[in-house]
Amino acid sequence: MVLFGDEVHYLSHIPMFHTPHDVQLVMRVRVTRPDGGATRFGGGLHTVVPPKFDLDHLIRGELRRFEGEVFAGNFEAGGKKLGAIVVEIDEVLVARTLREDLKPESPRALAVGTPSESYLVEQIDAPTGRDRIRRVVLAGAVPADLTRGVWLTGSDDRYTAPGGGEVTASGATVLSCLVGPDFFKACP
């Protein structure tokens, strides 16, 4: 899972187009470190290795807390282990089943965070799609409360907010970008 955010924390499950990992899952979470270590994860890629559990239990709210290990970078590609982490799920923002027959839709991204610290999580719309999370500066018709997530239509730097206002994204820092269908290869 990718962990991101300084002021508000989010966790994004790294999916695959086969069970049991065939879910695009984004959650707002609270994070603590038993060792008292830093809980700021907005400046680069951080991944979490959770214990084995059924994603459906998490989606249905039956699993509200778990412990795991946090890494700076990708834990599968030489990431640096930072230590133990406790994750408490506040809210599941996206739980979307990925199927081989998905057809590309209008590009969308989930805007999350705060006005001073915003992120875009792209909707995965096809097996050949990408799972991309970017830290951005949003301007224009930015919804006041991003903590619960707001879907924007568009891509890369120009979006339309609910209600029709234009939102622009600039200063993007890519935290994670993996290509489907197995999402273990980095985006070109």
The pLDDT > 90 percentage for the chain reads 78
Nearest to 124 by CA among 13, 39, 28, 2: 13
Band the pLDDT of 184: cuts 50, 70, 90.
confident
Q: Which residues on neighbouring strands pair with residue 4, listed in sequence order?
A: 10
The Cα–Cα gap between 46 and 121 comes to: 15
b (16+ CB within 10 A) / e for 129-143 = bbbbbbbbebeebbb
* Phi, psi dihedrals of residue 43, rounded to the nearest 5°: -95, 0
* Dihedral over alpha carbons 85, 147, 156, 182 (to 10 degrees): 40
Neighbours of 59 (CB within 10 A): 17
* Beta strand pairing call for 150-155 and 166-179: unpaired
pLDDT tens per residue, range 52-71: 999 999 999 999 999 999 99
Neighbours of 179 (CB within 10 A): 17
The Cα–Cα gap between 68 and 89 comes to: 13
pLDDT of residue 76: 83
In one-letter notation, the amino acid at residue 87 is V
Q: Give the global pTM.
A: 0.94
